Amino acid sequence: MKQILVVEDDSDIATIMRDYLVAAGFAVDVISRGDRAIESIRTSKPDLLILDLGLPGRDGLDVLREVRRSDDTPVIVVTARGEESDRIVGLELGADDYVVKPFSPKELVARVRALLRRAEAKPDAEEILRANDVVIDVPRRRVTVAGADIDLTATEFQLLVTLAREPGRVFTRLQLLDAIHGVAFESYERAVDAHVKNLRRKLEPPTGAPKYIQTVYGVGYRFADR
Ligand code: CA
């Protein structure tokens, strides 16, 4: 049974999330403080984390930063309406997805399922993508640039694989959103920009124009075909 950790200080919302997730067949723990969440994530190693951003003890973004320092647990952040900048910062810190309050519990469950599927996707046995000095070992979820290992979250990995499978093809933000969600949720195209920014930070040379993931103005992105 998949273990989900819900970090949410509003007990009504936490109860609704727990009830729906339990009904969907997940094992759920609820924690209401940010400082206690970090400890719990390290000891209980949940399969997925649902993280409210406004938390007592320690801010949700802080918790996320701390979590991403050591692992790639799938994370969905929960934000209040109007906290658009927090949402983008959350994605930039490596969150895989977000929901905005008030959200439909059914949609949350659907997103949890989609994210778990994505995190566990077992692609073809021996797919290895090579482009320039980037090597992507798809089944092993391993990426190297000029021989050096790069750590990517499940979402960043999926985004990179989607682009690198078809070098030169231009993808719109909407197509990329689709690829990373597995299911076409109504979502925010700037989320793609945030993930691309992360990918570039990990992949691209520190200065100069992006070598691998190129921006196609007004449309989206493509992986360089050399
Ligand atoms: Ca809160």
Render pLDDT for 26-81 as a digit per residue (tens, 0 to 9): 999 999 999 999 999 999 999 999 999 999 999 999 999 999 888 889 999 998 87
With pLDDT > 90 as the criterion, what percentage of the chain qualifies? Answer: 49
Whose tokens are 């075909």? That residue is 225
Task: State the pLDDT at residue 226.
Answer: 65
| Domains 3-120 and 128-223 fall in the same CATH topology | no
Task: Kindly give the distance from the C-alpha atom of residue 18 to the centroid of ligand 1, in angstroms, as a whole number.
Answer: 15
Task: State the pLDDT at residue 187.
Answer: 54
Task: Kindly give the distance from the C-alpha atom of residue 20 to the centroid of ligand 1, in angstroms, as a whole number.
Answer: 19
Predicted TM-score (pTM) of this structure: 0.70
Task: Kindly give the distance from the C-alpha atom of residue 194 to the centroid of ligand 1, in angstroms, as a whole number.
Answer: 23
Q: Parallel, antiparallel, or unpaired for β 148-150 and 142-145?
A: antiparallel
DSSP β-bridge partners for residue 4: 28, 48
| pLDDT tens-place string over residues 206-222 | 888 898 999 988 788 99
Closest CA to 28 of 18, 37, 38: 18
pLDDT at 8 over 90: yes
Domain borders along the chain are: 3-120, 128-223
Task: Kindly give the distance from the C-alpha atom of residue 75 to the centroid of ligand 1, in angstroms, as a whole number.
Answer: 16
Q: Are 7 and 51 in contact (CB under 8 A)?
A: yes
- CATH 3.90.1150.10 holds for 3-120: no
Class of domain 128-223: mainly alpha
Task: Kindly give the distance from the C-alpha atom of residue 104 to the centroid of ligand 1, in angstroms, as a whole number.
Answer: 17
If phi over 0 gives left and psi between -120 and 50 gives alpha, with beta otherwise, what is residue 134? Answer: beta
Task: State the pLDDT at residue 29.
Answer: 97
- Alpha-carbon distances of 215 from 25, 58, 211, rounded to whole Å: 41, 36, 10
pLDDT at 129 over 60: yes
Task: Kindly give the distance from the C-alpha atom of residue 109 to the centroid of ligand 1, in angstroms, as a whole number.
Answer: 19
| pLDDT tens-place string over residues 163-189 | 998 888 888 887 888 777 654 444 567
